[in-house]
Amino acid sequence: MLRVGVIGARGYTGAELVRLLCKHPDVELTYLTSESQQGISISAIYPSLRGHIDLACEAFDVETACAKADLFFYALPAGEAMKSAGALLAAGKRAIDLGADFRLKDPERYRQWYKGEPAPAELVSAAVYGLPELYRGQLREARLVANPGCYPTSAILGFAPLLAKGWIDPASIIIDAKSGVSGAGGRSTMKPEYSFPHINDNFRAYGLVTHQHTPEIEQEFARLSGVNAPVQFTPHLVPMTRGILMTGYASLAREADTPGLLAEYEAFYADAPFVQVLPEGTLPETKYVVASNQCHIGVRVDPRTRRVIVVCAIDNLMRGAAGQAVQNMNVMCGFPERHGLDLPALYP
């Protein structure tokens, strides 16, 4: 059994990791940290975990961590994992960061978008971007993984087949994405504008031209297409707890129709257990992916405008965070990729 730890177990993403890992057949959850809830059982913080795990949270300490676990999940804000990940790797441990510390390869882009100093170059270069459908081979040898952001996961999975095969003009992409409130801030940093009275019966855009997931999307689109092009990305907040619906638009670079592109998607994701390409006449909905690690994708060609429309639905806390992190662990450790994640969505 692999001993695993969650650094930052108190937040929404940390709790989702605990929920998945405590039932994973190949791991033992042996270490949880929370700076604000030291000595308190995770099941007291989240009563939904009562009867499943009663491990107490403690303050993070590198020496203690190394003695208690072999692989660590960082469920912390940007700028935190870089402080100790190097020490864990030096001790022979492995780590998956669900923050943004190792996602961007260009340090200047990190400074620009995250307003802070980037992680040491040797850690950034060693980190594998944790999107298994694109980097499964590299993940098998990885010791440090940069788990993708939730919006980038939906956008990259949605557009990857089109960019990789040159079906669209990369400079024409527009991404319009909507997220549930749990993706807009951590449990301890939730601002008043995310409270129920403000969110209920409301729908708004936020982070126009400034959202920190923009450079991550652009970086991965450039890897896929070989073209560096800016992406127009606008996120929205909708009055639901969890889920992301990404609708993307791009101009066709050559003639295509809906059946042909659907066949391209099915071939591209033939070996991807958590990506479902929906048939013509069916479009993704967040309700059908909630609490699952699934990604549902729908594609349509508009012959009138010569544009392709891509719709992608994921759960921001699962495929957009904790579920994808566990999937990455499975690939890293040689476990069956579905282990701990092979559950249908929660409906209704």
Question: Which residues does the annotation mark as catalytic?
Answer: 150
Best CA proximity match to 113, nearest among 80, 81, 157, 78 = 78
User: What is the C-alpha end-to-end distance of the chain, expressed in Å?
Assistant: 35
- Return contacts of 193-202, CB within 8 angstroms, 24+ apart: 194/237, 199/237, 199/239, 200/239, 201/239, 202/239
Which 8-state DSSP code applies to residue 166? T
Q: Positive or negative, the Cα torsion across 104, 105, 109, 110?
A: positive
Q: Is 228 exposed, middle or buried (0-12, 13-18, 19+ CB in 10 A)?
A: exposed
User: What is the phi/psi pair of residue 7, to 5°?
Assistant: -95, 110
> DSSP 3-state assignment of 78?
coil
- Interatomic CA distance for residues 123 and 144, integer angstroms: 8
Interatomic CA distance for residues 325 and 51, integer angstroms: 24
Query: In which region does residue 340 sit, left (phi positive, over 0), alpha (psi from -120 to 50) or beta (all else)?
Result: left
Q: Residue 90's closest CA among 60, 63, 115, 114?
A: 63
Angle at 64 between CA 11 and CA 336, to 5 degrees: 65
